[in-house]
């Protein structure tokens, strides 16, 4: 068990379980099923057939304190983000496509990842926020093992597009404190057309259930800084493509009515979106207001920064 105010992974470090999980995760790179794409390729040999285009080493685009994340992650010291290059999804409108689809970044060793985590801790960040982690879980675990042995004590945020395998989430059970998955779509046809993954809704819903089973609803300390739990992100798309009504109904009925959700307004046409109407335009104020209204009607906990934005739009 974790002692009061210590991150989830320390008991696993003390028992040797964290080390065992690193070995298990790396072994799976040889017929890769790390994410729900289950490509089955040997990433130690080649990246050619890997859906995430990532081999044995993770690639990092940038890292540093981030103040643009949700308030419970940012607090006063910022969220310690590490942005991984490439992605296991193919969102045709990706808002970070230079990182996720072009793959800008540098290959890193687990020792480098550990140094980044320790640097973020020494800079006063409240957490380590792994952005697009689904395809590099073995490398994250290896970096964490080194960092935790060297004194890392911050909670971990798993900031994912939400196409995660249950087998890999099992490796993260007792390691991750805060899960922050996207819930992008409710309709398989829409998911296929715009992210090239037909079974995204089913995989995503199973992953969210497992994440919530592990960490529960989001809890914060008396400063309002997140300590543990589930925080869902939902990017509103033009013409209702994100299926907001079904997504919030799923969260309310099958996760928890107390689910913390960030209904995001920042959609802009990026990457290939200009060829894919109606994704070739930003969302309207009314579309955003309707999405927030649906989440409110479902009784979910809305991210306050976004509620304030809605007030400004009125």
Tokens 């597009």 appear where? 161
Between 96 and 168, whose beta carbon lies closer to ligand SF4? 168
SS (H, E, C) 58-127: EEEEEEEEECCCCHHHHCCCCEEEEEECCCCCCCCCCCCHHHHCCCCCEEECHHHHHHHHHHHHHCCCCC
Residue placing its CB nearer to ligand SF4 in the complex, 178 or 203: 203
| Residue with smaller CB distance to ligand SF4, 47 or 227 | 47
Q: Give CA torsion, residues 158, 210, 230, 131, to 10 deg.
A: 20
**Least distance in Å: CB of 165 to ligand SF4?**
8
Classified as helix, coil or strand, 203 is helix
Residues 224-243 as b or e (16 or more Cβ within 10 Å = b): ebbbbbbbbbbbbbbeebbb
CB of 302 to ligand SF4, least distance (A): 32
Distances (CA, A) of 106 to 22, 23, 54, 66, 89: 22, 24, 11, 20, 20
Closest to ligand SF4 by CB, 66 vs 135, is 135
Closest to ligand SF4 by CB, 196 vs 213, is 196
CA distances from 269 to 102, 111, 133, 282 (A): 17, 37, 24, 6
**Where does residue 219 rank: exposed (0-12), middle (13-18), buried (19+ CB within 10 A)?**
middle
Q: Measured in whole angstroms, how far is the alpha carbon of residue 74 from the centre of its chain? A: 15
Q: In the complex with ligand SF4, which residue's Cβ is closer, 33 or 246?
A: 33
- Return the ∠ at Cα 197 (arms to 193 and 199), rounded to 5°: 115
> Of 37 and 252, which CB lies nearer to ligand SF4 in the complex structure?
37
CB of 172 to ligand SF4, least distance (A): 14
CB count, 10 Å around CB of 152?
22
| Least distance CB 87 / ligand SF4 (angstroms) | 9
Question: Quick one: 51 or 201, whose CB is closer to ligand SF4?
Answer: 51
Q: How far is the CB of 48 from ligand SF4 (least distance, A)?
A: 10
Q: Which is nearer to ligand SF4, 56 or 290 (CB)?
A: 56
**Cis-peptide into 116, omega within 30 deg:** no
Q: How far is the CB of 31 from ligand SF4 (least distance, A)?
A: 9
> Which helix (DSSP H) or strand (DSSP E) does residue 214 occupy?
helix 200-215
- Chain contacts with ligand SF4 (rule: CB under 6 A): 32-35, 37-39, 41, 43, 50-52, 88, 135
Helix (H) or strand (E) holding 304: helix 304-313
Shortest Cβ distance from residue 32 to ligand SF4 (Å)? 3
CB of 38 to ligand SF4, least distance (A): 5
CB of 53 to ligand SF4, least distance (A): 8
């Amino acid at each position: 068990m974790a002692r009061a105010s210590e991150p989830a992974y320390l008991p696993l470090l003390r028992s040797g379980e964290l080390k065992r999980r690193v070995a298990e995760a790396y072994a799976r790179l040889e017929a890769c099923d790390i994410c729900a794409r289950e490509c089955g390729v040997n990433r130690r040999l080649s990246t050619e057939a890997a859906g995430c285009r990532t081999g044995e080493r993770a690639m990092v685009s940038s890292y540093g304190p981030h103040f643009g994340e949700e308030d419970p992650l940012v607090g006063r010291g910022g969220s310690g983000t590490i942005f991984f290059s490439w992605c296991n999804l193919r969102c045709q409108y990706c808002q970070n496509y230079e990182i996720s689809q072009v793959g800008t970044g540098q290959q890193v060793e687990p020792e480098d990842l550990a140094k980044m985590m320790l640097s973020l801790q020494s800079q006063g960040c409240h957490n380590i926020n792994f952005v697009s982690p689904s395809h590099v879980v073995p490398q994250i675990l290896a970096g964490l093992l080194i960092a935790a042995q060297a004194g890392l004590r911050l909670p971990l945020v798993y900031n994912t597009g939400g196409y995660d395998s249950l087998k890999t989430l099992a490796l993260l059970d007792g390691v991750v404190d805060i899960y922050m998955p996207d819930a992008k779509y409710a309709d398989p046809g829409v998911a296929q057309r715009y992210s090239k993954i037909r079974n995204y809704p089913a995989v995503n819903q199973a992953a969210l259930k497992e994440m919530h089973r592990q960490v529960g609803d989001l809890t914060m300390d008396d400063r309002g800084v997140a300590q543990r739990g589930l925080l869902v992100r939902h990017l509103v798309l033009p013409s209702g493509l994100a299926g907001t009504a079904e997504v919030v109904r799923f969260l309310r009925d099958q996760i928890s009515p107390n689910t913390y959700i960030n209904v995001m307004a920042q959609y802009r046409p990026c990457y290939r979106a200009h060829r894919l109407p109606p994704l070739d335009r930003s969302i309207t104020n009314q579309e955003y207001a309707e999405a927030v209204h649906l989440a409110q009607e479902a009784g979910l906990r809305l991210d306050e920064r976004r509620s304030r934005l809605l007030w400004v739009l009125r």
